[in-house]
Structure 1
Amino acid sequence: MSTSTLGKTLDRETIGRLFEGSRTTNTFTDEPVDPALIQKVYEDLRWAPTAFNSQPLRLTILTDGDARDAVVEHMMDANQAKTKAAPLTIVAAWTADWHEHMPTLQPQREGARERFAEAEGMRKGVGEQSALIQVGYLITALRAHGLEVGPMTGLKASAFDEILHAENGWKTLVVINVGHAANPDDEDAVRPRAGRLEFSEASQIL
């Protein structure tokens, strides 16, 4: 980011698109989502901060096919049909082996990979927490690229990992269905807006 852009506020239309103006989407139009667009999304979200610059988020991109069909069976009944119908599904996971990339992520910290290798409990805590933070960045970045999203939990993570992550050891956190627009023929594609807490209810200034 250049110094000329620092400190400038986004316009309200853009901020609204990322937050208040966007909703969880349950069903989408049939327009496909090119996985190359998800790569562009990742190339933006990766610049956001994580603890120790650990960058533990890992993504498995599922289009219509055997892999998605296999994991859908391990989701809540209410989430199965809409996941099968989504143009694209992202399985967001985390890895405890983020320290292996320390020579790239923090080259100034000599010996960091070896020190973190001996702190398994800490690596797991940092990995899961920072990946969850990155999931928030992911949702925002998907919206910034013009996509609609339907994040979901309600799944058997161990079954997802057995099917998708047996070779790399990643740990599933959340599933995000992705499309270009909500299905105009489905009245439940986007449900009525639920309430939100006011600043005074969720904050304290000391």
Structure 2
Amino acid sequence: MTTQFHDHVLSDAALAQLFNEARSYNGWLDKPVSDEQLHAIWDLMKMAPTSANMQPVRIVWIKSPEAKAKLVEYVMEGNKAKVAAAPVTAVIGYDIDFHEELPWLFPHTDAKSWFEGDEKGREEGAFRNSSLQGAYLMLAARAIGLDCGPMSGFDPAAVNAAFFADSPRHRVNFICSVGYGDPASIFERSPRPDFATFNRIA
């Protein structure tokens, strides 16, 4: 089966945990997520690639009742119960001025100079690469045995004001709840296209 490709391919069980059996959850079991687990997610996701190792993602892990209540205010009606019930929700943002960190993140060359004076280009790069990092976050969470519920239904200006007020160059990208998913909260998996539907090899 999977071993037809490479000796080091992940097991079918691991692929099921990360992809084939993983789901986006709408409800959560009453089980806590520890700070140690959040650190473990970060320690995995930070190893995945971003352009010039720019690492533009900036995350606020919403865990306290006060922070959770604040976030619930700014998500659409259909997402309020999801956020309220989740043990943790990650506000996944990005730093428009990520280039200020490049002297130590990418010390091989003067990468900072590539982005100076080009705020539009920086924002585009930060958004793209923080989106990648958000996906890495979900895979990392699944890898350590947690489930995810990504969402985009929220008021971005209000979320920025509430959680990035002390860092005005940070912007929210999307949010993602993390915890132990309640199987009763999901419906039958939606169709997935085969390779030929949306792919071609040129």
In terms of fraction of residues, the more helix-rich structure is 2
Superposition map of 1:122-161 within 5 A: 122-161=121-160
- In structure 2, distance between residues paired with 1:121 and 1:177: 29
- In structure 2, distance between residues paired with 1:136 and 1:122: 21
Per-residue deviation at 1:75? 0.8
8 A Cα contact 1:27 1:182, kept in partner? yes
| Cross-structure match for 1:168 | 167
Query: Is residue 76 of structure 2 the alignment partner of residue 76 of structure 1?
Result: yes
Superposition map of 1:178-193 within 5 A: 178-179=178-179, 181-183=180-182, 187=184, 189-193=185-189
Superposition map of 1:49-60 within 5 A: 49-60=49-60
- In structure 2, distance between residues paired with 1:182 and 1:167: 32
8 A Cα contact 2:72 2:80, kept in partner? yes
Q: CA separation of 1:7/1:125 partners in 2, compared to 1, >3 Å: closer, same or farther?
A: farther
**Stretches (4+) displaced over 3 A:** none
Per-residue deviation at 1:113? 2.2
- In structure 2, distance between residues paired with 1:28 and 1:68: 14
Deviations 1:52-75 (A, max 9, x none): 211111110111322221121111
Deviations 1:37-88 (A, max 9, x none): 1111111111111112111111101113222211211111010012111111
Superposition map of 1:1-206 within 5 A: 8-110=8-110, 112-169=111-168, 170-179=170-179, 181-183=180-182, 187=184, 189-206=185-202
8 A Cα contact 2:41 2:137, kept in partner? yes
| Cross-structure match for 1:3 | none
Per-residue deviation at 1:7? 6.6
| Cross-structure match for 2:3 | none
How many residue pairs end up in the alignment?
196
One-letter code aligned to 1:38: L
Q: Partner of 2:74: helix, strand, or coil?
A: coil
Give the TM-score of the pair, scaled to structure 1: 0.90
Q: Partner of 1:24: helix, strand, or coil?
A: coil
8 A Cα contact 1:149 1:177, kept in partner? yes
* 5+ long unaligned stretches in structure 2: 1-5
Q: Partner of 1:191: helix, strand, or coil?
A: coil
- In structure 2, distance between residues paired with 1:125 and 1:42: 23
Per-residue deviation at 1:116? 2.0
Give the TM-score of the pair, scaled to structure 2: 0.92
- In structure 1, distance between residues paired with 2:77 and 2:92: 20
8 A Cα contact 2:63 2:88, kept in partner? yes
- In structure 2, distance between residues paired with 1:128 and 1:82: 25
8 A Cα contact 1:61 1:90, kept in partner? yes
